[in-house]
C-alpha cells in the first residue's frame, strides 16, 4: 500500500465530497447541454461509480481482516433477503394463478352447452 490509511469517520466525508463533485459536474454538463437531463444510462453509470467508490473506501478503511468478516455477515444478510424475495415472488405468482383460474360452474349456473 502507499501508506495512506483512512479512519472510519473519514468515509462519510469522502463520499459526501464525491457526491458534491459529481453534482457540480452534472450541473455544468446540464448548463452546457441546455438543461436536458442526462440519459438513464449516464445516471446509472454515475450511481455505479459512486457505489464502487464507497465500497473501495469502506474496505480500505476497515482493513483486510475486518472486511473479510464483514463480507461474511453481508453474505448471510443477502441470503436472507434473497430467500424473502423468493418467497414473496412465489406468493405473488400463486395469487395471480388463482385469480386467472376460471371458476367452476355451480349448480345454479347453466354453464356453456
Is the pLDDT at 16 greater than 80, yes or no?
Answer: yes
Is the pLDDT at 25 greater than 80, yes or no?
Answer: yes
Same domain, 86 and 35: no
Q: Does residue 104 fall inside a structural domain? A: no
Instruction: Indicate the pLDDT class of residue 82, thresholds 50, 70 and 90.
Output: very high
Residue 68 belongs to domain spanning? 64-95
Same domain, 8 and 57: yes
Quickly list DSSP for the chain: --S----TTHHHHHHHHHHHHHHHHHHHHHHHHTSPPPPHHHHHHHHHHHHHHHHHHHHHHH-HHHHHHHHHHHHHHHHHHHHHHHHHHHHHHHHHHHHHSPPPP-SS-----
Is the pLDDT at 52 greater than 80, yes or no?
Answer: yes
**Of 45, 62, 79, at which residue does a domain stop?**
62
Is the pLDDT at 11 greater than 70, yes or no?
Answer: yes
Same domain, 30 and 8: yes
| Chain mean pLDDT for the chain | 78
Amino acid at each position: 500500500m502507499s501508506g495512506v490509511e483512512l479512519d472510519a469517520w473519514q468515509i462519510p466525508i469522502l463520499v459526501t465530497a464525491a457526491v458534491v463533485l459529481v453534482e457540480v459536474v452534472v450541473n455544468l454538463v446540464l448548463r452546457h447541454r441546455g438543461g436536458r437531463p442526462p440519459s438513464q444510462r449516464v445516471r446509472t453509470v454515475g450511481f455505479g461509480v459512486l457505489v464502487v467508490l464507497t465500497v473501495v473506501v469502506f474496505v480500505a478503511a476497515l482493513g483486510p481482516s475486518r472486511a473479510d468478516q464483514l463480507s461474511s455477515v453481508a453474505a448471510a444478510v443477502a441470503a436472507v433477503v434473497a430467500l424473502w424475495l423468493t418467497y414473496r415472488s412465489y406468493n405473488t405468482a400463486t395469487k395471480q394463478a388463482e385469480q386467472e383460474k376460471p371458476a367452476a360452474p355451480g349448480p345454479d349456473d347453466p354453464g356453456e352447452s
